Structure 1
Amino acid sequence: MKRISTLILLAFTFCAGSQDIGYQFKDLSSVYYKGAMDSLKKAWTCPSIYPDKTTQKEFCVQWASRTSFLQEGISENNFVHHPEIVSYVNAIVTQLHENNKDLFPRKPFLLLDRSTVANAYAIGENVIVVNIGLLTNVKYRDELALILAHEMSHNYLAHSMQSMKKKAEWLTSEEYKDFIKDLSRDKYNRYNKLVNAFKEYKFSSSKHNRFGESNADSMAVNMLGKAGFAFDAAWFLRLDSVGMEYKTPLKKPIPEYFQTYNVALQSQWLNKKAIGLSSRVGDADFNSNIEDSLKTHPDCKDRYEALKSKTRNPQLAIPIDEKIRILADKNIIWNLYRTNNFTSALYRLFLLQDEGLKDDWTDFMMSNLLISFYAEDVMLNRSNVIRIKPKAWIGKDYFSLQTLLEQVPSASIVDWKDKGNL
């Protein structure tokens, strides 16, 4: 009976929650883009470019992998056609396209990814994707235009095609075949050789990609000028700090956010213990950086230095529409909740309240999270919805929140079910 009640609750919350954040079931990608996916299967046929049959076969494997990525993303609802958000972003794409038709005879096909990551990416074949997480991080419409122009440039410069060709050529090269033969004869050092070969390939590939990124940057800045957008090279300097929401301190002690909903907490539940999931990641430093020596983009300072002379009318940059940013924030919280990532959903909800936004929807989401956490605890699924994160990825307040959700006794969570019925 409890399981059935939970399923009824989830069905109700999907209908109510999705409408409040601006889209309906028909806007999910598996429904909205069904016709486009059928066309994609016909249009994205692997071209014949290599006389060597082995290389051509491997190239088609890479091509099929890219096609499958998009098809599966559509069928699994990784994308959504949010009417207001897509319209807002598409207007920027239209402005870029109409003023750069010499480069882009056809308007790019835009997809909105439901990912929380502050990013955008080019798939190739005139398709660009914007993560909804990007819209909560950019400050200006012109800054978003820069990112969109950058991805359009990747498609124009055929970087996706180059990447597939490079991989196909490497996997069918004599050097790679010799490496595999040597590996099969080595009984004791296979793992290290594989790791080193992977690092060498990734480094070579990433170094090549960084040149491509620089070219895309330069082309994007020129596109902005032709389309009448402002440009500030200093926007590149912010890229290292985007996506840091979970390191952002809360404005109030965590118990106060719960007290608003008549949920009382004990201070000891916020403190790390010697046992438990959170203790396993407790030795890392909150100030640790996540090292990535193989990142594909050039250093942000280098990008700034390369293009600072191209800065143009930054004072005329138009701020991102606040309604769009809040819609994006709400969509992210909703998606985190729907994918059972309760700690992140709660934390982002608290950050939204810190900005002064507390309305019927935020109350509705807090209610969902309290009731659902109780239901998951009853089903012995608490750890799977807490999703413990390493300290290097989070700040002290986030760590305290995930520790709280881990340490709070089940007897106290029973009360959350009633408090959730706001």
Structure 2
Amino acid sequence: MRFVISLFFIIFSQSIQAQNFVPIDTSNVTYRKNLKTLYSKRVSDQSQIFQKQITNPKVRKEVGSIYKEVTDGFKETIDKGYFVEDSLYRNELDKILKNLKNNNPDYASLKTTQILLSYGTAPNAYAIGNDIVVVYIPLLKKIRNQYELAYIISHEIAHNILKHSYNGMIANASLKQSEDLIKKTKELKKQKYNRAGESITLYKNLIYGSSKNKRKLEQEADSLGFILFKNAYKDYQYEVVKTLELLEIVDKETDSLSVEDYVSLFETEQLPFKKEWIVNGELESYKYDTTPKFWTIDSLKTHPDCKIRAEFIKTNFEVQENKLQEASEEFKTIQFASKYNDVLGLYVIEEYGKSLYETLLLLKWEPENQFLRNLVSENLLKIQSAQKSYTLDRHLDRLNPRNSDSYNTFLYFIRELRRKEMDELINLYKA
């Protein structure tokens, strides 16, 4: 697999050097090895802290089990090549971290904080504990300047400083071992009538309680994150408000594929475009799941409304309004590169459907871009291979009411293509 990716990198580098963009080298085995060694050491150290900190043996065992599951999953993403290193991104991330360290000397954990760059499917960032913050490349093409990135990193560092992930594991383990919960569960088993209704009520209380607590944690991270940011970027406090307002809509799709786009991208002399590929009774009658649930969507949000969070910061820290700052030239370069590294990254992590869709959205504006054309062909080949091996659902989403209409249409289109039609399209884009 790594040989294939290395060869893939060489081909794509040659195809886009003239456009002043060189993709991230996905074959950096040394970086992944060193990262895994560092992470394993920090996991071991934290496991020893849990052993000393948690006195209840049952809770301690449960925390150990949860922690192992989380950290094993993280190590697996390292092995799969999710985390990458590139000087263009590293320079900006290090600059932000250095500024935060120098201006927040009271927070010792900043000295050991690591910011990782990751491929991913969503514009996101997260704190995993162990003084590690992860920034997804899709986020970097969505945010508008280096200050927004700095606040997002500050917010995630705050989660680590406040030990939210560790405290959450302990709270979850303690709840599972709670005598009151065990007693209520046993009582439910003895009931002859309305057992389902009572169990739903119990579950609702657990879910709502957890969600309320998560909202509180987000507010804590927003507040401490603001302080960290303010200390490092005193004259740019209003960027925090702007960042939170942007996060309200950051995952909204801003482009789509029209019928005309499909005709332009896929019609050939040998393969005239068929309207039924994207307009069909099955797709038109596709209905959202309107079945009533025993919880409400708003009650289960793990993040409170970002507009409310923005107003909280603005009011409680008396932030004065200001205009959005223009991005530096360095950050503009990162934004540009992230458009292409994002679609390449989706391919590397085997999200072939998402990679193909996002590539097509770029290709409609840059029809002669050889990098994008190559990527269309490579994704189609992988999707065709998955069809043959009956593993398509691992690499291509199914229609879902949470998807945009454009993305659902695309998914329907790909699944409707016959083998000969797929071959024709692969040859169309093959270099």
Q: Give yes or no for TM over 0.5.
A: yes
Structure 1: how far apart are the matches of 2:262 and 2:129?
45
CA contact (8 A) 1:29 1:75 kept: no
* C-alpha contact 2:343 2:359 (8 A) present in aligned 1: yes
Match of 2:17 in 1: none
Q: Do residues 58 (structure 1) and 62 (structure 2) align?
A: yes
Change (3 A) 1:417 1:160: closer
1:249 is matched by which residue type in structure 2? Answer: S
Paired position in structure 1 for 2:8: 13
Equivalent residue in structure 2 for 1:401, among 410, 413, 428: 410
CA distances 1:58-87 after superposition (whole Å, capped 9, x unpaired) = 333334344334333323433223443233
- Greater CA drift, 313-322 or 91-100: 313-322
The one-letter code of the counterpart of 2:421 is: S
Partner of 2:19: none
What is aligned with 1:162?
Answer: 167
Residue pair 1:63, 1:164 contacting (<8 A) in 2 also: yes
Percent identical residues: 23
Alpha-carbon separation, structure 2, partners of 1:326 and 1:226:
29
Please say if residues 28 and 81 of structure 1, whose CA atoms lie closer than 8 Å, have aligned partners that are also in contact. no
Given candidates 321, 328, 335, the residue that maps to 2:331 is 321
The residue aligned with 2:288 is: 284
Instruction: Tell me which residue corresponds to 2:77.
Output: 73
Distance 1:416 1:374 in 2: 11
Report the aligned-residue RMSD.
3.4
Structure 2 equivalent of residue 248 of structure 1? 255
Structure 1 equivalent of residue 105 of structure 2: 101
> Offset of 1:373 from its aligned partner?
4.1
What is the aligned partner in structure 1 of residue 37 from structure 2?
Answer: 35
SS in 1 for 2:84: coil
For 2:231 and 2:84, locate their aligned partners in 1 and report how far apart those are by CA, in whole Å: 30
Closer, same or farther: CA 59–11 of 1 in aligned 2, 3 Å: closer
Which residue of the partner structure matches residue 295 of structure 1? Answer: 301
Q: Which segment drifts farther, 29-38 or 235-244?
A: 29-38
Residue 268 of structure 1 pairs with residue 247 of structure 2: no
Change (3 A) 1:194 1:84: farther
Is the CA contact 1:27–1:80 (under 8 Å) kept in the aligned structure 2?
Answer: no
Matched AA of 1:212 = L
Partner of 2:27: 25
Query: TM-score when scaled to structure 1?
Result: 0.83
State the shift of 1:348 in Å.
Answer: 0.8
Match of 1:3 in 2: none
Residue 128 of structure 2 corresponds to residue 123 of structure 1: yes
State the alpha-carbon separation in 2 of the partners of residues 327 and 346 from structure 1: 17
CA distance in 1, matches of 2:2, 2:102: 48
SS of the aligned residue for 1:282 comes to coil
Q: Normalising by the residue count of structure 2, what TM-score does the alignment of the two structures yield?
A: 0.81
- State the 1:143 CA deviation: 0.7
Equivalent residue for 1:238, pick from 246, 250, 258: 246
Q: State the AA in 1 paired with 2:311.
A: E
The total of aligned residue pairs comes to 407
**How far apart, in 2, do the equivalents of 1:259 and 1:159 lie?**
52
- One-letter amino acid of the counterpart of residue 305, structure 2: D
Q: Report the Cα distance in structure 2 between the residues aligned to 1:176 and 1:130, rounded to whole angstroms.
A: 37
**2:182 & 2:412 partners in 1: Cα distance?**
50
Q: Distance in 1 between matches of 2:232 and 2:397?
A: 44
Q: How does 1:336-351 map onto structure 2 within 5 Å?
A: 336-351=346-361
TM-aligned CA distance change 1:391 to 1:41, over 3 Å: closer
2:18 aligned residue = none
Aligned position for 2:149: 144
Structure 1 contact 126–155 (Cα < 8 Å) conserved? yes
Match of 1:258 among 241, 266, 279: 266
Q: Deviations over 1:298-335 (max 9, x none)?
A: 21221122122314654445357233223323233223
Structure 1 residue 119: Cα displacement: 1.5
2:369 corresponds to 1:362 = no
2:220 to 215, 220, 235: 215
Q: Which amino acid aligns with 1:304?
A: A
Q: Which runs of 5+ in 1 are unaligned?
A: 1-5
The 8 Å contact of residues 269 and 403 in structure 1, kept in 2 or not, is answered as yes
Q: Deviations over 1:162-212 (max 9, x none)?
A: 212211221222111202322443477666555443332221122122122
